A = this chain, B = another copy of it.
Amino acid sequence: MSEGERAEELIDLVHRNDLTGIRLWLAEHRPYEIADELVRMTSTEAIVPFRLLDKDRELEVFEELDPGQQQAVLLGLRDTAFHELLEEMEPDDRARLIGEAPAKIATRALAGLSPAERRMTAELLGYPEDSVGRYMTPETVVLHRDLTVGRALEVVRAKGAEAESIYTLPVVSDGRRLVGTVALSDLVVNDDSRLLKDIVDLFAPRVKAYEPVEDAARLMQEANLVSLPVVDSEDRFVGLLTFDDALEVIEAADTEDMARQSGAAPVGGHYASVGVLRLVGARVVWLMLLIVASTLTVNVMQAFESALDAVTALALFVPMLIGTGGNVGAQSATAIVRALAVGEVRLRDLPRVIWKEARVGLLLGVLLAALAMVIGTLLVGVDVALVVGLSVIAVCVWAAVIGSSMPLLARRVGVDPAVVSSPMVATLVDATGLLIYFSIASLVLGI
């Protein structure tokens, strides 16, 4: 995979506006490789190579772009090309695109669709954002449980649906009620005369269309499912969630969690295609709140100004102390947020988790305190070093408890635990850590 070289080429060709070169490059690469390069360009840059794609691959590449770039590409197309592209998209991808597009694009898009396509898109649009319904594939082969294996294979053959939605086939009873699933491989391996109802997996997991798609994707991951049948509230089969959608959902969810962990809102697009203003917008809110919250540290420092005046050396260790507290808190918070996201920890584990993290914090505190005391003694003297050491122990325990309990408490009040970011924990630990530090200083140094 010589990505470095490949990367150099296309973007340089675009910058030089070398149309022949771009055509040649496109002919030599596969759709996902092309999309891979396009997502690293700005929307304007991406339009040129996209327009030079042959019809067949246009759609495949288009579906790999993120919604922002898809919109930019659509805006750059003539009406016929615009509608051809849209009509050929998967209904689930189209619904997401239209759901997120500005009204200008959405109206133009819906107007040009054939009645059947419009109905399917509208149906998907009826489900809440980030629900299974928005991501499922509604056009799939459905088999009645009274069919034989041989007849079922004929149905599959006749429909000739796209590959990823026929790995797992939904088996229904009358009224489209979902009975279970059979794998395509079960059909191939079993005798033609067997009845589906005898080989159907009755306990195959299923999800409701209005449930969060991230939960469904994690379920597919845990249960190793290529696809997951989706039902409505009356258990009628309405579509399939396929593994490629699940992979996409999980990658996006992890990206969002990581952004939130650093105190930024998710930007919902590839890094290269997101502008400076949108990046600032995603990051500034939490930074502002944290600056306001850190006013507390100023208050604490002010309250102990006389102590600071008496022993100036105390001020020297403030960055080291609050830095360490912040780091320990961030580690705990990150570990717990992730464990919650992948289902390794649940709400009722709160007491056990806090107890575990408190012990981790204590042990870390003792080890770090020893190191801090050596540094403190060498730089300023044993008195202040003792204060720093004791404070490090207390702050580490406190930070580990705060960092581990806050994500769980967030989950309890129904907030995404990932909003408990490292900067939030650090800021909280800063102010309280200073209180601990100066209190210990008063006791030890008698000031």
Inter-subunit contact B371/A291 (CB<8 Å)? yes
Q: Is A436 an interface residue (CB 8 A)?
A: no
Chain B min CB distance to A365 (Å): 10
- Report the Cα distance A223→B287, complex, angstroms: 37
Number of residues of chain A lying within 8 A (CB) of chain B: 128
Inter-subunit contact B271/A298 (CB<8 Å)? no
Inter-subunit contact B291/A368 (CB<8 Å)? yes
Inter-subunit contact A271/B166 (CB<8 Å)? no
A51-81 to B contact mask, C-beta < 8 Å, 1/0: 0000000000000100000000000000000
Q: Known A330-B262, A346-B3, A379-B302; judge A294-B270 contact (CB<8 A).
A: no
Inter-subunit contact A287/B368 (CB<8 Å)? yes
Q: Which of B4, B324, B327 lies in contact with A346, CB distance below 8 A? A: B4
Inter-subunit contact A257/B258 (CB<8 Å)? yes
Chain B min CB distance to A11 (Å): 9
Q: Is A137 an interface residue (CB 8 A)?
A: no
Copies in the complex: 2
Q: Known A250-B251, A283-B360, A330-B262; judge A323-B297 contact (CB<8 A).
A: yes
What is the chain B residue whose CB lies nearest that of A187?
Answer: B188
A267-284 to B contact mask, C-beta < 8 Å, 1/0: 000111000110110011
Inter-subunit contact A284/B364 (CB<8 Å)? yes
Q: Is A259 an interface residue (CB 8 A)?
A: yes
Chain B min CB distance to A247 (Å): 5
Q: Which residues of B contact A119 (CB under 8 A)?
A: none
Q: Which residues of B contact A308 (CB under 8 A)?
A: 312, 315
Inter-subunit contact B345/A298 (CB<8 Å)? no
Q: Is A343 an interface residue (CB 8 A)?
A: yes
Inter-subunit contact A328/B36 (CB<8 Å)? no
Inter-subunit contact B379/A294 (CB<8 Å)? no
- Report the Cα distance A4→B411, complex, angstroms: 12
| Stretch from A125-133, A156-164, A233-241 that touches the partner | A156-164
Q: Known A36-B343, A272-B345, A349-B272; judge A319-B297 contact (CB<8 A).
A: yes
Q: Is A189 an interface residue (CB 8 A)?
A: yes
Q: Is A7 an interface residue (CB 8 A)?
A: yes
Inter-subunit contact B262/A335 (CB<8 Å)? yes
In the complex, given contacts A261-B334, A301-B316, what are 15 additional A-B residue pairs having Cβ atoms less than 8 angstroms apart?
Answer: A4-B347, A30-B223, A35-B222, A64-B222, A220-B247, A258-B334, A258-B337, A261-B262, A272-B349, A287-B324, A290-B323, A294-B320, A308-B315, A323-B430, A327-B426
Instruction: Give 6 pairs: A residue, B residue, CB < 8 Å, sorted on A.
Output: A40-B349, A164-B226, A187-B188, A243-B243, A272-B345, A287-B328
